[in-house]
């Protein structure tokens, strides 16, 4: 009889860079293959090693340690810590991801620096959430999850009567909370549940419990100030862009985004018609020169013409007015803030991402110094807080719950039943 086993190649004691191998007889598949964000146990990653990934420096993983390449690599969502190493896979190993994740990666290939691009994207295969597909002996069904990456999916793998459910990254407090109920209806008592536990560390405070509370805090801030507002946030966190769009609408402000953001929203509208922009709305587009050049080179000038009716030029901005909310890069934020400050209209600064990025980038303090006001923190995590993790674990009733994408695996048993701790590289026979 063929043996079925699972091993965590990485992710047992780190956030980011998770990689799971599921083996049945001679056949295997790999789930996620991203760039690690930290070294084992949360230690600082060697940034030089990350620039030149290899198996010997520990960035690449020996996914063919048994001499047999996996049949496929399946990517849960379009965050670099989940897909960032796929270009290093042998060409003959197909890569699968959701249609929406593929679109996000394609947009990244236009606008992101080379290290965040996926060269082999054209040959990547895509799946539809909820529609099972087979790879060798494995049947895989992806389920849409509520996460800060549009199109993020969990993955149910069925093989030889065994079921393995991998949550990928998820939360329960965004704009798609009902998808967790959908998962609970579709997945019953898997043999293995691999569940993320990002927020169990101290670096993900639940200051704002939900995306709705973020929108409300933005509305209240806008109503209480007579200043323009600059928001630092991830452009690919579409839930957050929707919060900004709605907060601007509720307060009668104009939301100004850059070409990257506009193009991204347009590309995602095939998946969700409710996404902005809408006809005759309050969304305007700023054309940064570097993005214009990139678009002309990679997409064609017609893309620039497409948004012309919404274009707001640098010298058409009223720098004595408080009618705007901007979400732009730090360099453009800085230059526009300078113009407002000169008109005695010092903007409010809103920081709407994971705190860690602010500490890593000097430009945030430069903007603070220029404006003379601190960044106001309005953010909710892209990852589930303990309550939502418990609800999922209790609802699924897995025979074994294996912590992944966490530095607090040893704390799982305080919150959840049937916890089974695995070490990186260790195998478990099912």
Q: Which residues bind Zn ion (CB under 5 A)?
A: 79, 169
Taking the least distance from each CB to Zn ion, the nearer of 23 and 406 is: 406
CB of 79 to Zn ion, least distance (A): 4
Kindly give, in sequence order, each residue whose CB lies less than 8 Å from that of residue 341, ignoring residues fewer than 6 positions away: 347, 370, 371, 372
Look at the block and give the residue holding tokens 């603070």: 368
Least Cβ distance, residue 170 to Zn ion (angstroms): 9
**Which of 239/348 has CB closer to Zn ion?**
239
For Zn ion, the closer CB: 36 or 347:
36
Residue 234 C-beta: closest distance to Zn ion, Å = 11
CA dihedral sign, ordered 25, 96, 90, 21: negative
In the complex, least distance from residue 151 CB atom to Zn ion, rounded to whole angstroms: 11
Task: Compute the distance between CA of residue 348 and CA of residue 358 in angstroms, rounded to an integer.
Answer: 16
Q: How far apart are CB 429 and Zn ion at their closest, in Å?
A: 29
CA nearest neighbour of 261 among 281, 250, 276 = 276
- DSSP assignment string, 21-74: EEEETTEEEEE-----SS-GGGPPP-HHHHHS--TTTTSS--TTTTS---SEEE
CB nearer Zn ion, residue 152 or residue 430: 152
Q: How far is the CB of 168 from Zn ion (least distance, A)?
A: 7
108 versus 277: smaller Cβ distance to Zn ion: 108
Instruction: Considering the complex, state which of residue 170 and residue 412 has its C-beta at the smaller distance from Zn ion.
Output: 170
In the bound state with Zn ion, the residue whose beta carbon lies nearer, of 24 and 79, is 79
> Please, which residue, 10 or 79, has the CB nearer to Zn ion?
79
Q: How far is the CB of 405 from Zn ion (least distance, A)?
A: 8
Q: How far is the CB of 237 from Zn ion (least distance, A)?
A: 10
What would the 3-class secondary structure string for 178-208 be? HHHHHHHHHCCCCCEEEEECHHHCCCCCCCC
| Per-residue CA distances from 229 to 18, 333, 357, 387 (Å) | 37, 10, 20, 33
Tell me the sheet residues that pair with 223. Answer: none
Residue with token string 């929203």: 265
Identify the DSSP state of 173: S
Strand order in the sheet with 324-327: 283-286, 254-258, 324-327, 229-232, 348-351, 375-377
Q: Cβ–Cβ contacts within 10 Å for residue 215, how many?
A: 23
Closest C-alpha to 73, from 137, 24, 20, 36: 20
């Amino acid at each position: 009889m063929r043996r079925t086993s699972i091993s965590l190649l990485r992710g047992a004691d780190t956030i980011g860079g998770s990689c799971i191998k599921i083996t049945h007889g001679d056949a295997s598949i790999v789930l996620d293959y991203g760039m690690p964000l930290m070294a084992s146990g949360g230690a600082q990653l060697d940034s030089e090693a990350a620039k030149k990934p290899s198996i010997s420096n520990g960035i690449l993983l020996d996914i063919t340690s048994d001499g047999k390449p996996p049949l496929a690599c399946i990517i849960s969502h379009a965050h670099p810590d989940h897909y960032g190493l796929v270009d290093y896979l042998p060409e003959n190993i197909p890569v699968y991801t959701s249609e929406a994740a593929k679109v996000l990666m394609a947009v990244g290939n236009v606008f992101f620096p080379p290290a965040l691009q996926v060269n082999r994207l054209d040959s990547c295969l895509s799946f539809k959430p909820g529609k099972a597909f087979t790879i060798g002996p494995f049947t895989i069904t992806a389920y849409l999850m509520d996460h800060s990456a549009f199109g993020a999916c969990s993955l149910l793998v069925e093989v030889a009567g065994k079921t393995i459910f991998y949550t990928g990254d998820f939360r329960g407090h965004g704009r798609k909370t009902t998808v967790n109920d959908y998962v609970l209806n579709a997945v019953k008592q898997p043999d293995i549940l691999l569940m993320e536990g990002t927020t169990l560390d101290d670096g993900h405070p639940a200051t704002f419990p939900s995306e709705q509370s973020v929108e409300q805090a933005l509305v209240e801030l806008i109503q209480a100030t007579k200043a323009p507002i600059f928001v630092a946030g991830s452009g690919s966190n579409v839930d957050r862009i929707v919060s900004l769009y709605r907060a601007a609408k509720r307060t009668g402000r104009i939301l100004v985004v850059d070409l990257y953001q506009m193009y991204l929203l347009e590309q995602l509208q095939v998946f969700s018609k409710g996404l902005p922009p809408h006809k005759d709305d309050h969304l305007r587009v700023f054309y940064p020169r570097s993005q214009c050049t990139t678009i002309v080179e990679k997409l064609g000038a017609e893309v620039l013409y497409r948004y012309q009716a919404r274009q707001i030029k640098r010298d058409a901005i009223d720098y004595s007015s408080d009618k705007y909310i901007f979400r732009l890069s730090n360099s453009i934020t800085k230059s526009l803030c300078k113009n407002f400050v000169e008109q005695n209209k010092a903007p409010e600064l809103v920081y709407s991402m994971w705190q860690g990025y602010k500490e890593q980038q000097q430009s945030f303090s430069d903007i603070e110094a220029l404006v003379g006001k601190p960044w106001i923190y309005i953010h909710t995590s892209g990852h589930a807080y303990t309550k939502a993790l418990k609800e999922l674990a209790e609802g699924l009733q897995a025979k074994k719950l294996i912590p992944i994408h966490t530095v607090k695996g040893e704390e799982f048993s305080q919150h959840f039943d049937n916890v089974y701790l695995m070490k990186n590289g260790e195998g478990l026979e099912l």
